[in-house]
A and B are shown apart, each in its own frame.
Chain A
Amino acid sequence: MTWREFQLGSPISKVTETTTLWQAERGIVEISENALAIPIELGDQQKGHVFHGQGKLLLDAIAETDEGAIGKTIEKELDEPFLMLGETAKIGQHLTKASEEDFIKMSYENQQGFIDKAKDLCDQFFKGKVNNHEAFGRDHGLIFAFQNEANKLDVLFAKGSKLVYKATDIVFVSNENKVVLKSPGEVVCSSNGKSVIIKK
């Protein structure tokens, strides 16, 4: 079964309290109370959710080198729908069924409005470059896809201390003391204090 065969499940829920979806040494993704959530299913398994509400992404995309720190913290207000794959059971504890009022609060006419928006996002993600189940591996950790200003997807992969963040103007890869940062001005590879900096 491939990711192209995903389906949006039910019920559509809302978040009961501000919830941390991912937290590691270098980053955090949070979603606020009353955000809408719809499950993503593959076959009979729930694989993730599409959320829409007030959320926040913080990511310290900073490389420490002998010459000084390079990079910045990425701060992103997540007020557009975004996708999360993985850890569905944990998220379930913070969800309750959404009412018609909850959709209106989020500027949707009705439930279908949110379903359509979530489907568009999933189509963009699953029917793009990543098109089969094996591409993520059996234990892929967490995957987030956030829509950016250019209507493209910024993607975050996180598993334990390992993370990969890819946006339009930045690529950040980190695994404990090893960091690769590609920004418009430079490329930095840093491993346990030793670093190579390539200025463009």
Chain B
Amino acid sequence: MVKTKLPEDLEEEMKKLKEEMANLKEQLKDVTERTRKGKRGIHIDIGNRVHDYVEDVLEEVAEGIHGELKKSIFIGPRGVRILRDRPPHRREEELEVSLPKVAEVMSALGQEHRLEILRELMSGGKYINELQEKLSEITTSTLSSHLKVLEEVGLVVQEKVRGRYLITMPGRAAYKMARRVTRFLERRNLE
């Protein structure tokens, strides 16, 4: 084995490191001795490493929540809600909804009298004259055209034999959604 001589400055550096290690060993020995004797209040200065450590831990926690639990946590004025990730097939279905169709449904909802018709039908099927009594400010032909719009998008269905108008399942859902969105926006505006 060939022994190579180290450069002088490096040899000096090594010497310093050895001294520092000996010093640290001495400190560790002292700490161990004091701990063994039951003395409390040991202070070890680890400086910026605390910050780095906390940051690493938080990052891991965040990754864990997102990657493994597949949940989102929404903290709002009314408390904490945990929103689970939807299964992939549901997301695909949502993407498949054509925007013109969405616009058509939203357009049917976007009229005060049509919303009023839906609200009236929420309490049960009604004949056109019953609806006319509730919406006396519009003519029968206007009412009929509103009902036609709602029927075309599937929010309302008419019994062809009896003539009654009924709100459909999507109709109820759409009316509730419209109210919820409005309430949500109103609350936000108040905040």
- The chain A residues found within 8 Å of chain B, CB to CB, are 25-28, 58-60, 62, 64-65, 67-73, 75
Contact = CB atoms under 8 A, between A and B. Distances in A.
A59 B169 contact: no
A39 to B, nearest CB: 28
Interface residues of B, number: 16
B161 A58 contact: yes
Contacts of B125: 64, 69
B151 to A, nearest CB: 11
Contact of B172 (A59, A68, A72): A68
Contacts, number: 47
A73 B160 contact: yes
For chain A, what secondary structure do more than half of its interface residues adopt (helix, strand, loop), or is it mixed?
A: strand
Contact of A69 (B160, B161, B162, B168): B168
Contact of A68 (B161, B162, B167): B167
B186 to A, nearest CB: 26
B171 A28 contact: no
A60 B161 contact: yes
Contacts of A71: 157
A27 B173 CA distance: 28
B170 A60 contact: no
- Give the interface centre of A28, A58, A73 by most chain B CB atoms within 10 Å: A73
A23 B125 CA distance: 21
Contacts of B168: 68-70
A68 B160 contact: no
Contacts of B132: none
B159 interface: yes
Interface string B124-161: 11000000000000000000000000000000011111
B169 A67 contact: yes
A17 B182 CA distance: 56
B108 interface: no
Contacts of B162: 25-26, 60
B126 to A, nearest CB: 12
A26 B172 contact: no
A72 B168 CA distance: 10
26 contacts: A25-B161, A25-B162, A26-B161, A26-B162, A27-B161, A58-B160, A58-B161, A59-B161, A60-B160, A60-B162, A62-B159, A64-B124, A65-B169, A68-B169, A68-B170, A68-B171, A68-B172, A69-B125, A69-B157, A69-B167, A69-B169, A72-B157, A73-B157, A73-B158, A73-B159, A73-B160
